[in-house]
A and B are shown apart, each in its own frame.
Chain A
């Protein structure tokens, strides 16, 4: 079979069974990339993941780009990326269109409302998880200082979060990079 078709199938399967965003699909992608299609060796996969984690942006699409290019050049990138993002994007657009049609109905209004506390709790979990990880790696004093300053900047001074993140990069590169 053509490699790009295999890429299409492999990345489609890995992402369509991954719930909870890109990071949770990593083990599924590993299964397709290493033991199943042998696009990368285990060591290459870990190296690639390390590089992917040190770059910003969604992780699934970075893996797709790397593996696609490695296995079949730019055609491979296109196939792997399309298989990763298109099915779920189309599904979301179709579902939202259906819901928008019935926007004024009490049914959809109730659904929108009841989902808010669930989202709040999921955000709470993500907050706790990333705080914990951060405290473990840089200590609670650094964590608290950076968190308080960024809260003040974003919430009180209305600074664009992008600028705050760039500021954090500079700070981290200079003071935490030793």
Chain B
């Protein structure tokens, strides 16, 4: 019972104080805790939560922390997850006001932050690979690649808002299996007709 709360607090505390570059770069850390370390949810579910969270406004890491807590322990869990994630750095922010100059001009602190960015990049790259892998498994090589290319073009060149793209993906996704079923059916019918012609 209490063990879950303790694990949740520890995991959200860790992700809160080790994420640099704001919420989005914390996502791989949260995923590591939720999926690989504590196995609170499968990777597919995490991907789905992340996608839905991205269609909603507001900070991303706190949404995930609250949802993880809620899924494990209801409303109280959500509160614990949130507080463990944001409280340490919020308090640090208030406590360090008087040292503001020391902090923002320290070369050592800049060096520390700079060294973390490549680690974050590796973890983001890893997530990219794994979600890509899942897309290939579910959609097949060509369809997954086509979706990826379309998504990349829309985001990078058309500068479409990610929330809109996710909404489109969700909308098509909701009829995907129906479309696939229909396609299979027509193909089958054609095949049958061809066989019929040959007879």
User: Which residues on A are within 8 Å of B, measured CB to CB?
Assistant: 15-23, 25, 47-48, 50-62, 64-66, 69, 77, 81, 84-85, 87-93, 95-96, 99, 106-127, 130-131, 133-134, 137-138, 142-143, 146-147, 150-151, 154-155, 160-162, 164-166, 168-178
- Chain A proximity of B18: nearest CB distance (Å): 5
CA distance A20 to B47 in the complex (A): 16
Beyond A58-B23, A58-B26, is A120–B131 a contact (Cβ under 8 Å)?
A: yes
The distance in angstroms between the C-alpha atoms of A124 and B147, with both chains bound, is 14
Contact between B117 and A115, CB atoms less than 8 A apart: no
In the bound complex, do residue B173 and residue A88 qualify as a contact, i.e. CB atoms below 8 Å apart? no
Distance A142 CA – B117 CA, assembled complex (angstroms): 11
How many angstroms from the CA of A61 to the CA of B54 in the assembled complex? 17
Interchain CA distance A137-B20 in the complex, whole Å: 15
Q: Judging by beta carbons under 8 Å apart, are B117 and A130 in contact?
A: yes
Judging by beta carbons under 8 Å apart, are B169 and A115 in contact? yes
List 4 extra interface pairs beyond A114-B172, A120-B131, CB under 8 A.
Answer: A110-B177, A127-B121, A130-B21, A164-B119
Q: Count B interface residues, CB 8 Å.
A: 105
Give residues 166-195 of B contacting A (CB, 8 Å).
Answer: 166, 169-170, 172-178
Q: Are A126 and B14 in contact (CB under 8 A)?
A: no
> Are A122 and B54 in contact, with the CB atoms below 8 A?
yes
Q: Interface code B49-65, partner A: CB below 8 Å = 1, 0 otherwise?
A: 11111101111111101
B39 lies within 8 A of chain A by Cβ = no
- Docked Cα-Cα span, A64 to B93, in Å, equals 10
6 closest Cβ pairs, A-B complex: A172-B115, A88-B58, A177-B111, A114-B173, A57-B89, A89-B66
Partner of A93, one of B67, B119, B175: B67
B1 contacts A by Cβ under 8 Å = no
In the bound complex, what is the Cα–Cα distance between A112 and B90 (angstroms)?
A: 34
Residues of B within 8 A of A54 (CB): 103-104, 106, 109-110, 113
- Which residue of A48, A122, A142 is within 8 Å of B155 (Cβ)? A122
C-alpha gap A176/B151 in the complex (Å): 37
- Residue contact B62 to A88, C-beta cutoff 8 Å: yes
Indicate if the CB atoms of B18 and A165 lie closer than 8 Å: yes
Judge if B116 is at the interface, Cβ distance under 8 Å.
yes
- Is B107 among interface residues, defined by CB-CB distance under 8 A? yes
Chain A residues within an 8 Å CB radius of B89: 55-58, 61-62, 65
- Contacts of B155 on A, CB cut-off 8 Å? 121-122, 125
A92 adjacent to B49 (CB under 8 Å): yes
Against A, the Cβ 8 Å flags (1 = close, 0 = not) of B20-64 are 111111101100100001000000100111111110111111110
Q: Are A85 and B148 in contact (CB under 8 A)?
A: no
Residue from B67, B85, B117, B148 whose CB has the most chain A CB atoms within 10 Å: B117
Contact A106:B70 (CB < 8 A) given known A56-B19, A62-B89, A117-B131: no
User: When the two chains form the complex, which single residue of A96, A112, A117, A168 contacts B147, counting CB atoms closer than 8 Å?
Assistant: A117
Q: For B52, B109, B118, which residue has the most chain A Cβ atoms within 10 angstroms?
A: B118
- Determine whether the beta carbon of B88 is less than 8 Å from that of A93: no
Provide the residues of chain A in CB contact with B97, threshold 8 Å: 51, 66
